[in-house]
Amino acid sequence: MTIEYIYPEIANLFGDSANFKYLKKSIPGAEFIETGLNDVPAFASTAPSLIYMGAMSENSQKLALSRLMPHKECLRELIEGGTHFLFTGNSFELFGKYIEQNGERIPALDILDFYAVCDTGKRYNGFFLGEHGGEKITAFNSRFSNAFPGDGVQGFAKVIRGRGLNADCTYEGVVKNNFIGTYLLGPLLVQNPLYMRALMQELGSEQEPAFFAAGMEAYAKRLAEFEDTKRELD
Amino acid sequence: MLRFYIALWAAKLAQLMLRLLGRKGTYFAGKLAIKLCPDFLGRIGRPKTLIGVTGTNGKTTVSNLLCDVFEFWGITLVNNRYGSNINAGVASALIENATLGGKCKRELGVLEMDERSAKLIYPYIKPDYLIITNLFRDSMRRNAHPEYISGLLSANIPPETKLILNADDLISSSVAPNNERRYFSISHIDGELPSRDNIVIDARICPNCATALEYDFRRYNHIGRAHCPKCGFASPAPDFALSSADFSARRMFISEGEESYEYRLISDTVYNIYNALSVVALLRTMGYGADKIASAFESLKIVQSRFWEENIRGKLLTVIMAKGLNAVACSRSFDYVGAEPGKKSVVLMLDDVFDEKTSSENIAWLYDADFEFLVSPDIEQIVTVGVRSLDSKMRLLIAGVPEEKIVAVPNECDAAAAVNISDAEKIYVLYELYRYNSAVMVRNKIAERIEKEA
């Protein structure tokens, strides 16, 4: 099993590297690759089991796009072929049609049917409670942007509390085959041990995630807070 | 203009009323004035010379040091050291020092300015000098990320403001590149480690060509000296460089080109040495003589409320402010505690006070903080305290702390009882800024237990 983290030097803005670190602890037998901005990605020669990327600054999005654009067709084929992707924070915006940053339209990879609009004058913060695969997802948003999906786009999690892809969207994230892109940032896998376990099973690991019992205790506490409607999102 | 005078008089009246009620109210009067007159800051009189201090960490310490130096020299100045650093706090300080006609009664001002409030302050108040201490990740809710704050400062700092910048910080040193600037730096000191193993290094690539930067040394996070092996980009050359320090004699030597000047070393923590150095850099840039500054430094003190240490029956009990939601500040505290010799117990009280009451804290920052510094055979126990104690426990497990060393205590009233006093030679209580009273309560209960049990 190979897990590749794309551009960790710029795509770790909000504790996102925790996901990679937690996968390392949970699947010690896997090969873990960190691909820098000036490296040739491992996915360009062999399909990894999972490709991970985390949140980044608005300028870093432009840089990442310049590096990924030559691999656009390869990425499209990997998604079509069923490779797992987990892109957290605003990193998944790279796969849409374009990103509009404060009025400037930046062409994106145009692999998935959505576009993103970023306004650095308006920041949205808040916790998120959703449902994915029958399990509750607990996570956080802290972002300048919203995504606007086309009609056929499938979401990652149904919104129970908090914001979806945009203020009016009833779901959060975009899914295509095994590609998952989500605005939910930071240690998403640590915060959701049940989702982590399901992902590991999809990747072919039958072990329990590391520190599963401790993770479940923390998850249960957070879930109770998120379900308490007296608690504000932010 | 009438609107301005109404706002000024209403704010002055509010300040008077608050003073009579025994409240400082340093925020309210300014807020009222800006509400009544949105461009109030642009209309109220400012001191002839205005110094601003901004940045992620250290701005309060630097402002206080500057105020102390000027007060030592007998200069009464406008300052917001006891108040807020956002636009309303700045306005309050100016209102307090204004005549009824709106003229400033002082020649000099030192104002701490919140970096996030740049676009609410600088269009109106144009500092003659601005120290930017550093730029790190801070609350993501408020500050997003350092590049965002750097952009905000660059877009709003007036072109005529002279900048005093940290040459060892590639993010803050690049703010407002066309402004006149002087840089300060601490040279690599003998015995100092060449780098620290930090998770967050926000200047990893060359801003010109995106090649991976090579650090000549990296003091912590992105603080250090770096260069690009491809295009020649490098950390700026300092105008004021701390070239050496004698920690036992408490002296520091600051070189300015070929000259070197000696000052008292007022702290032995590197971040406070940066703070003191920025003060020297500013005062020298303003034209004050090195001897005059050195004499003021002889009596200067850094307020120790954020660090309280006491030896109780042979056990060292220390309370340290760790600043929750601020991964770099926490990491500095973790690094300090991890490196101290002796068997230790550590109490972590890092939860956000406000989220605890009304929402649920975003714990992503825990994974930017270097809890790995707490992985040490000398640390025999870590007590995580508060509503997020289970999340902190999980963070410590992922860092590599054995589970049997961690005790999660949801209620802070139970924290002291959970501490293993008998085995520890040193006990550290690390607390979030707004949790000071709770930290003191826990500390006092631990002290009582030591008195009884040791």
Q: What is the pLDDT of residues A3-49, one digit of tens each?
A: 999 999 999 999 999 999 999 999 999 999 999 999 999 999 999 99
Mean pLDDT of B291-318: 90
pLDDT for the residue B25: 58
Mean pLDDT of B213-240: 97
CATH code assigned at A150: 3.40.50.880
Q: Calculate how close chain B gets to A144, using CA atoms only, in Å.
A: 9
Q: Calculate how close chain A gets to B370, using CA atoms only, in Å.
A: 11
In the A/B pair of chains, how many CB contacts fall below 8 A? 111
pLDDT tops 80 at residue B188? yes
Q: pLDDT-derived band of residue B26, with 50, 70 and 90 as boundaries?
A: confident
In a domain, residue A233? The reply is: no
Domain housing A110: 2-226
pLDDT tops 70 at residue B319? yes
Which chain B residue has its CA at the smallest distance from A14's CA? B364
Q: Calculate how close chain B gets to A33, using CA atoms only, in Å.
A: 17
In a domain, residue A145? The reply is: yes
Q: What are phi and psi of A175, to 5 degrees?
A: -130, 135
Task: Collect all residues of chain A within an 8 Å Cβ-Cβ radius of residue B393.
Answer: 214, 218
* Residue B263 contacts residue B50 (beta carbons within 8 Å): no
Euclidean distance between CA atoms A29 and A6, whole angstroms = 20
> What is the total count of domains within chain A?
1
Q: What is the pLDDT of residues B434-450, one digit of tens each?
A: 999 999 999 999 999 99
Cβ neighbours for A147, distance < 8 A, ≥ 6 positions apart: A92, A93, A96, A114, A115, A116, A117, A165, A166, A169, A174, A183
Cβ neighbours for B368, distance < 8 A, ≥ 6 positions apart: A14, A15, B137, B199, B200, B327
| Cα separations in angstroms, B307 against A119, A138, A206, B320, B321 | 40, 36, 48, 5, 7
Q: What is the pLDDT of residues B111-170, one digit of tens each?
A: 999 999 999 999 999 999 999 999 999 999 999 999 999 999 999 999 999 999 999 999
pLDDT tops 70 at residue B198? yes
> Domains of chain B by range and CATH?
2-183+258-297 (3.40.1190.10), 307-453 (3.90.190.20)
ipTM of the complex: 0.97
Residue type, B400: G
In a domain, residue A231? The reply is: no
Instruction: Catalogue the E-assigned strands of B23-150.
Output: 49-54, 78-79, 108-112, 129-132
Q: Given B200, B210, B367, which is nearest A63 (Cβ)?
A: B210
Q: Calculate how close chain B gets to A152, using CA atoms only, in Å.
A: 32
Q: How far is it between the farthest Cα atoms of chain A?
A: 51
* Residue B212 contacts residue B231 (beta carbons within 8 Å): no
pLDDT for the residue B304: 62
Q: How far is it between the farthest Cα atoms of chain B?
A: 69
Please state the pTM of the whole predicted model: 0.95
Q: Given A142, A217, A231, which is nearest B358 (Cβ)?
A: A231
Q: Given A25, A127, A217, which is nearest B398 (Cβ)?
A: A25
In a domain, residue A183? The reply is: yes
Which chain B residue has its CA at the smallest distance from A126's CA? B362
